[in-house]
Amino acid sequence: MGNDYLDMPVDPTSRDQLAAEGLRLELVDISDKQAFAAWSRAESRGFHSPVQTEAAIEQRHSYFDDRRITGVYDDSVPVPQEPVATTMVWPADLTVPGRRTVQSWAISDVTVAPTHRRRGVARALLEAELRTAQAHGAPIATLTVSESTIYGHFGFGPAALARDLTIDTRRAKWTGPRPAGRVHFVTADQLLEPGLALVERVRLTTPGQIAYDGILWDRQLGLMVDDEVAKKQRFVRYDDESGRMQGFASYTLNENPADFTQHRLDLLHLVTATDDAYAALWRFVLEMDLVSEVKAHLRPVDEPVRWMVSDFRAVKVAELDHLWIRILDVPAALEARTYATPGRLVLSVSDPFGAADGSWVLDVDDTGTPTVTPTDDPADVSLTVEELAAIYLGGASPVMLHAAGRVRGDAARLEAMFRSPVAPFLSHWF
């Protein structure tokens, strides 16, 4: 995909629907700094974030060259230059099983002002994005969500889960490997290029990862001028015995003023390319003096750390949905990944929006490579576009969805073909 998506006109169907409500759907011209600032203020208000400073808006603006930004404007409000609804998209590679990628339409910053809620504005915006993604040839749309109740309305399903861990470090004595490499403190600047190179090096190993750089990476390093957490953020990296960086982590320490031996360590990021780096960085975090609790946000569901400490129950796990995807082109999406077992399966997919509605034969050869063709043959499996999204990366089990009444037919065969040896996971919010 080139940069032509930046200039594609707004979707005429949604534009006309909103016009009938007295609202204007428009692309925001990124070269117009005032228009961008008004959009940015509206977006942060939509997420209940603090009012943005000029410096924060200026910095944000510097990242948005490759973003397609949309606003919905209401000329009857006292501040008509500030949109009453916002969204932002860009094409981003999504890793799929088989260490491959598929182009996705990454959607972010969806807000509707509280003064304009529940009038169908978000629906108009989202459907506009889905049609624009189709026009641009993106087979899948992706997003991370504020609430898990919203995006099923638009055919998205939860494709990758994540876990928050709370670890009692007094109980969780390290029993895992003790690799011979070294952990070093580094500055954010020292991670800027090598850290992103490492993220890029491991991206294809995990279905669900979405390529990123720019604001999403700089935010992880605490480089945004309005980031309060960044003041406390520390960075370490792991170098193997030959001195090559194989992982990094960042965390904050939060004091308990009543007892200095009870600090809490919040693990913000831990990215590793080798098992040694993984063990060394987790051990470093769990053996920190004066810390009684480690909280780790957004971790993979198949993370091995529980098997590397003395007490399984010292690690409390809370699971959440994280990456949601929406399949727009069934043959292109299904042909983008590989499959665990060969076979032939007729899938019937229903989609009220129309994009993914139909029946297809999925034919997988002995190497796991698929071909997908439309068919009138009777279905082996029937499901909606939401369940197709949930199983696409090998996340949700089709057998479990069958038991939940959400997949009909030969769920066991579907499961055998779609499963992934690595659980899908996305390591960041966007």
Ligand X SMILES: CC(=O)SCCNC(=O)CCNC(=O)[C@H](O)C(C)(C)COP(=O)(O)OP(=O)(O)OC[C@H]1O[C@@H](n2cnc3c(N)ncnc32)[C@H](O)[C@@H]1OP(=O)(O)O
Nearer to ligand X, 119 or 219 (CB): 119
Residue 122 marked as a ligand binder? yes
For position 149 contacting ligand X by CB under 6 A, the verdict is: yes
Residue 224 DSSP one-character state: S
Residue 119 marked as a ligand binder? yes
For position 147 contacting ligand X by CB under 6 A, the verdict is: yes
Residue 166 marked as a ligand binder? no
Residue 147 marked as a ligand binder? yes
Nearer to ligand X, 212 or 238 (CB): 212
Query: Could you give the residue ranges of the DSSP H alpha helices within 86-187?
Result: 121-136
Region from 147-155, 242-250, 304-312, 386-394 binding ligand X, contact rule CB under 6 A: 147-155
Residue 118 marked as a ligand binder? yes
Catalytic-residue membership of 151: yes
Q: From the candidates 235, 339, 425, 430, give the one annotated as an active-site residue.
A: 430
Distinct helix (H) and strand (E) counts, the chain: 11, 17
For position 45 contacting ligand X by CB under 6 A, the verdict is: no
Residue 335 marked as a ligand binder? no
Residue 123 marked as a ligand binder? yes
Q: Judged by CB under 6 A, which of 12, 80, 135, 153 binds ligand X?
A: 153
Contact 322, 161 (CB under 8 A): yes
For position 111 contacting ligand X by CB under 6 A, the verdict is: yes
Q: How far apart are CA 138 and CA 134, in angstroms?
A: 6
Angle at CA 52, nearest 5°, toward 51 and 55? Answer: 150
Region from 146-154, 159-167, 350-358, 378-386 binding ligand X, contact rule CB under 6 A: 146-154
Determine which helix (DSSP H) or strand (DSSP E) holds 392, and give its type and residue range.
helix 385-392
Neighbouring CB atoms inside 10 A of 139's CB total: 24
Region from 149-157, 161-169, 256-264, 349-357 binding ligand X, contact rule CB under 6 A: 149-157
Contact 322, 207 (CB under 8 A): no
Among residues 426, 422, 417, 427, which one has the least CA distance to residue 205?
422
Residue type, 111: T
For position 122 contacting ligand X by CB under 6 A, the verdict is: yes
Catalytic-residue membership of 312: no
Q: Judged by CB under 6 A, which of 2, 51, 76, 118 binds ligand X?
A: 118
Residue 120 marked as a ligand binder? yes
Question: What is the nearest approach in angstroms of ligand X to the Cβ of residue 130?
Answer: 13
Backbone φ and ψ for 309, nearest 5 degrees, come out as: -130, 165
Instruction: Dump the DSSP string for 232-295.
Output: G-EEEEEE-TTS-EEEEEEEEEE--TT-TT-EEEEEEEEEESSHHHHHHHHHHHHT-TTEEEEE
Q: Judged by CB under 6 A, which of 145, 223, 301, 422 binds ligand X?
A: 145
Nearer to ligand X, 129 or 387 (CB): 129
Residue 121 marked as a ligand binder? yes
Angle at CA 67, nearest 5°, toward 57 and 164? Answer: 80
For position 345 contacting ligand X by CB under 6 A, the verdict is: no
Question: What is the nearest approach in angstroms of ligand X to the Cβ of residue 129?
Answer: 10
Is residue 114 packed enough to be buried (19+ CB in 10 Å), middle (13-18) or exposed (0-12)? exposed
Neighbouring CB atoms inside 10 A of 33's CB total: 12
Question: What is the nearest approach in angstroms of ligand X to the Cβ of residue 194?
Answer: 30
For position 109 contacting ligand X by CB under 6 A, the verdict is: yes
Contact 290, 261 (CB under 8 A): yes
Q: Judged by CB under 6 A, which of 84, 110, 183, 391 binds ligand X?
A: 110
Question: What is the nearest approach in angstroms of ligand X to the Cβ of residue 48?
Answer: 8
Q: How far apart are CA 253 and CA 264, in angstroms?
A: 6
Question: What is the nearest approach in angstroms of ligand X to the Cβ of residue 147?
Answer: 5
For position 21 contacting ligand X by CB under 6 A, the verdict is: no
Angle at CA 321, nearest 5°, toward 318 and 326? Answer: 170
Q: Judged by CB under 6 A, which of 69, 94, 143, 308 binds ligand X?
A: 143
Residue 37 marked as a ligand binder? no
Cα diameter, the chain: 70
Give how far Cα 258 sits from Cα of 161, 261, 262, Å.
36, 9, 8
For position 112 contacting ligand X by CB under 6 A, the verdict is: yes
Nearer to ligand X, 72 or 334 (CB): 72
The footprint of ligand X on this chain (CB under 6 A) covers a number of residues equal to: 22
Region from 110-118, 167-175, 303-311, 350-358 binding ligand X, contact rule CB under 6 A: 110-118
Q: From the candidates 36, 151, 238, 251, give the one annotated as an active-site residue.
A: 151
Angle at CA 229, nearest 5°, toward 224 and 233? Answer: 95
Residues forming the site for ligand X (CB under 6 A): 46-47, 107-112, 117-123, 143, 145-147, 149-150, 153
> Mind telling me the catalytic residues?
151, 430
Query: Which positions make up the binding site for acetyl-CoA?
Result: 110-112, 118-123, 146-147
Query: Which positions make up the binding site?
Result: 110-112, 118-123, 146-147
